[in-house]
Structure 1
Amino acid sequence: MSDSRRTAPEFPAWPQFDDAERAGLIRALDQGQWWRMGGTEVDSFEREFAEYHGAAHALAVTNGTHALELALQVLGVGPGTEVIVPGFTFISSSQAAQRLGAVAVPVDVDLETYCIDPAAVEAAITPRTRAIMPVHMAGHFSDMDALGKIAANAGVPLIQDAAHAHGTSWAGRRVGEHGSIAAFSFQNGKLMTAGEGGAVTFPDAEQYEQAFLRHSCGRPRTDRRYLHQTSGSNFRMNEFTASVLRAQLARLGGQIDTREQRWPVLAELLAQIPGVVPQGRDPRCDRNSHYMAMFRLPGVGEERRNALVDALIERGLPAFAAFRAIYRSDGFWETGAPDATVDQLAARCPNVEALSADGIWLHHRTLLGTEAQMHTIAEILAETLAGV
């Protein structure tokens, strides 16, 4: 680690694509019908995605935020209800509930896995709680054993925010095999992408059919008289997006295999750097998609952490500051905020506070690199940390 001028090698590009995406786009084009009601690409993608994740049904939608909003609406979330969310997550997790008129209730996370803390969830349940939303942070499954028991005892459904968790599993069960609705994102940085897009998986046909109506302005498939049966919006995915996602899904498993091989190497190297603590792993999470390569610098403070991220970017690493606690963003307080102050929420969420100030993540494309590149990443981090 003597070369202080070392820069990162060129990592695999993201998004990745080849002739499979090109063929899909031409196939969608040649149909002559480019929306889901006239074409076959969306229908085919939904079947393939549901099967891959062990779900009974999948519904393709416009983006991951809409996927969450639609899923919550199917569960009856609206004015007068509350949704428990982790305080450490991308803000769509809370805003999806807030845009439906519900109150988002942030709770603390586990400092080892960065996923929602079941004990904090249990303490936050009230008679108004309508849903509990675990986020499978960076591809690591939340503790679905504990959360499933809490949800069953309280009579409150789970909704999995699986935006980071394509292809993951917990105790041998894939996302769709946990008996709850799950929402996925296909935004440009996600593990499979068409630039934007989302999907919701369902364990039963009744929920799926309700969601289908609501994602198509409440209009049944065969309606000819504009008899809209429910409220809703236009969350329909188009045929071109679906054709790209079919190709992306076909290579997802191999990419996860590579990341599963690289992360243990990188995590061990990071752990050898004084002051660096890589994200941990519960052994029950038996397949982790590694949406992010995440680590902490406990006690470093937000200002120095941000300076370190800037320095890593200058050295060629695709580095990012960890998510800000959702209650520390102005947007969280615009509507549907709990009856508490920022300081009160922060006191309830000490682990969220720590991660927000000292967490860093690297884009998952770094984990598609070579084993030698994992060593270079650690060397650059050690050198940069010493100089910032």
Structure 2
Amino acid sequence: MIPFLDLKAQYASIKDEVDAAVLGVLASAQYVLGEEVAEFEREFAAYCGTKHAVAVNTGTSALHLALIAAGVGPGDEVITVPFTFVATASAVCYVGARPVFVDVEPITLTMAPEKLEAAITPRTKAIVPVHLYGQMADMGEIAAIAARHGIPVIEDACQAHGAEYRGQRAGSIGALGCFSFYPGKNLGACGEGGIAVTDNDDHATMLRILRDWGQEQRYHHVLKGFNYRMDGIQGAILRVKLRHLEDWTNARRAHAARYSHLLKGLVDLVPPVEAPGRRHVYHVYAVRSRDRDSLARTLHSAGIQTGLHYPIPVHLQKAHADLGYQSGDFPAAERAAREVLSLPIYPEMTARQVEQVAASVEQDAYVA
């Protein structure tokens, strides 16, 4: 069987380093925040090219606090995309604001800049592009539109650790950038974790206060905050993994290039495209097929696991029916939801495994 991802193989490759890091935290008894988390914050900020990084317990928490730091609150509107994991919209709802969706580009499946300006109203207080599958949205166009209207951009970079747009790292272009360290991410914790990055001193200070019960100092609660602190063990593990991230990214990119070469020219099969000027880090290698379900069945029969990212756009989810959107409102997102299928991709894959997956995809295309 070829798994969709193999976290056991990743652990085995760095076991001694991870074990030593965990034991170090246990010996120090710095279980919540602590020096390992502080060091990880410094190292991740340097990796992203930002002044500050504030570690929290999940990527959703990072988005939630980033919205608060940007001044978003009840009655405001936040523009984002419907083709994303639901957490993007949920974080907007957490602050009492309303998610306003714009469609995605048909090729990259990231925010379509040409749809953005028409969605801006006097109530728009933030724009949240999603760097989907490991590729950044068109931040040049999005940032230019946002600047004209004086609206902050918050990058949802939860799937884009190390991705780049014209040489700038994900998270470093907007007012704030948010990342998830859910275990399956390119940089994943051994549990939950997240982080927000920024160059703004005031934003960073607010994030640090908000994540720790609104405390400016112990028992001095200046804001109504949250228990969003990162565990010390996760900080230590993430420090170890960050040292390997570039090698892992290069392996993902090599596997993606091999997939794209092997799958080129297949009828009714569209591999992902790396847009000019961007560095795709392939958190997900999502192909598109009009008969996606048949392809998934073929691969399952061959012992190959696949994923669906995402089969129902957020605007059609029952939980967000109150927003009033209907089927047909965002045709590019809805078509993608019907067609995408994620193939296995992880650094520990072998070339032979990539070839086996591609051969099974080709067999389905040939039979079809």
Could you state the TM-score of these two structures normalised by the residue count of structure 1?
Answer: 0.89
Matched with 1:192 is 187
Matched position secondary structure for 2:151: coil
Is this contact kept in 2: 1:181–1:201, CA < 8 A?
yes
Could you state the TM-score of these two structures normalised by the residue count of structure 2?
Answer: 0.93
Aligned letter for 2:89? S
Relative distance call for 1:351 and 1:79 in structure 2 (3 A) is same
Counterpart CA distance in 2 for 1:246 and 1:314 is 39
Deviations 1:101-130 (A, max 9, x none): 111112110111111101112221111111
Q: Return the match for 1:210 from 206, 211, 234.
A: 206
Counterpart CA distance in 2 for 1:144 and 1:383 is 38
Q: Return the match for 1:291 from 257, 273, 283.
A: 283
Matched, 1:85 2:80: yes
Report the Cα offset of residue 384 of structure 1. Answer: 3.4
Is this contact kept in 1: 2:3–2:305, CA < 8 A?
no
Matched with 1:123 is 118
Matched, 1:316 2:303: yes
Q: How does 1:91-170 map to 2 (within 5 A)?
A: 91-170=86-165
Matched with 2:36 is 41
Aligned letter for 1:355? A
Is this contact kept in 1: 2:212–2:229, CA < 8 A?
yes
Bigger drift between 276-285 and 265-274 goes to 265-274
Relative distance call for 1:26 and 1:176 in structure 2 (3 A) is same
Deviations 1:12-48 (A, max 9, x none): 7225121111111011111023122xx3111011011
Aligned letter for 1:268? H
Deviations 1:321-352 (A, max 9, x none): 2312111111223xxx53x3323xx33x1110
Deviations 1:270-303 (A, max 9, x none): 2322110011121110x22100011111x43xxx
Deviations 1:132-165 (A, max 9, x none): 1111111111101101100101111110000111
Matched, 1:173 2:153: no
Matched, 1:373 2:365: no
Matched position secondary structure for 1:274: coil
- Aligned residue pairs total 362
Matched with 1:73 is 68
Aligned letter for 2:318? D
Aligned letter for 1:135? V
Matched position secondary structure for 2:100: strand
Aligned letter for 2:18? E
Runs of 5+ consecutive residues of structure 2 not aligned to the other structure:
none
Matched with 2:253 is 260
Matched with 2:336 is 355
Is this contact kept in 2: 1:62–1:237, CA < 8 A?
yes
RMSD: 1.8
Runs of 5+ consecutive residues of structure 1 not aligned to the other structure:
1-7
Matched with 1:364 is 345
Aligned letter for 1:352? A
Deviations 1:332-377 (A, max 9, x none): 23xxx53x3323xx33x11101100111112432x64233332221
Counterpart CA distance in 2 for 1:32 and 1:113 is 45
Runs of 4 or more above 4 Å deviation:
8-12, 385-388
Give % identity.
Answer: 33
Counterpart CA distance in 2 for 1:341 and 1:252 is 39
Is this contact kept in 2: 1:46–1:59, CA < 8 A?
yes
Is this contact kept in 2: 1:62–1:236, CA < 8 A?
yes
Report the Cα offset of residue 11 of structure 1. Answer: 8.0
Matched position secondary structure for 1:97: helix
